[in-house]
Amino acid sequence: MDAEVRPEGAISVRDLGIRFTRNRAARRNFKDLFGGRTRRRRPDEFWPLRNVSFDVAPGEAIGVVGRNGQGKSTLLKLVAQVMLPDEGVVSVQGGVAPLIEITGGFVNDLTVRDNVNLTAGLHGMTTREIAERFDEIIGFAELEKFVDTPYKHLSSGMKVRLAFAVISRLEEPIILVDEVLAVGDAPFKAKCYTRIEELLAGGRTLFFVSHSEKDLLRFCTRGLYLDKGRLVLDAPIREVVARYNADYGVKG
């Protein structure tokens, strides 16, 4: 499909590959850097994702499934374009609201208020729009008494609340949710589920990483199953969950 005509919220991934080094100490040395065009392959390099291709239409809700360490978070970071592939192309139409790390990109020494302003501003919200939504965001996060508290002094559950409240209020057409809901308490989770359903009803594209079969089936229509660096199945979510359970003997 021509990138020019691809609608907002669409994603195209072609022959994606990313290479990591297992051991941080084994970084490239000077010899590797200046020792000619073909760098020696280090034995501790590996490809958490390789030869991965798929297309996502606007408004699709994709569940990403796989065991620990199979590249789910890495895939979301590539879609969010906070990581670049070593092979292939990730093309994303429109902005991405990434709920991909508990920190949500927040700055430790800034207050809750300043972090909300900063994150919303970075995603293109005007000062006026932020001011209009500020109370609602803080109310959703239930952090009214912590508005002037430095972010680093929040509990981990409070950090997740703040991240979810801000990120889910952005206008971006694509939203990425990586496992963060696992941290919240039950009443907060229930609010998040309702918010995700509203976002989906509003036509957002969702990437949802979860180990909860119930959550995957609740929100997602399609699944991507990652295993040993490959996309082993791209199919309706029920089929993907069934295959994963058959492979690894997991019960919902």
**Binding positions for ligand ATP, rule: CB under 6 A:** 20-21, 48, 66, 68-74
Which lies closer to ligand ATP via its Cβ, residue 13 or residue 116?
13
- Bridging pattern class, strands 61-65 and 222-227: parallel
Minimum CB separation of residue 128 from ligand ATP in Å reads 37
Instruction: Tokens for 65, please give them.
Output: 């499934």
Minimum CB separation of residue 178 from ligand ATP in Å reads 7
Query: Could you tell me which of 206, 217, 207 has the C-alpha nearest to residue 240?
Result: 217
Minimum CB separation of residue 7 from ligand ATP in Å reads 28
Which lies closer to ligand ATP via its Cβ, residue 73 or residue 115?
73
Which lies closer to ligand ATP via its Cβ, residue 20 or residue 193?
20
In the chain, the amino acid numbered 134 is F
> Is the CB of residue 173 less than 8 Å from the CB of residue 9?
yes
Minimum CB separation of residue 131 from ligand ATP in Å reads 36
Between the alpha carbon of residue 25 and those of residues 31, 35, 165, 247, the distances in Å are 15, 19, 38, 35
Which lies closer to ligand ATP via its Cβ, residue 45 or residue 185?
45
157 vs 160: CA distance, rounded Å: 5
- Placement of tokens 């039950």 in the chain: 186
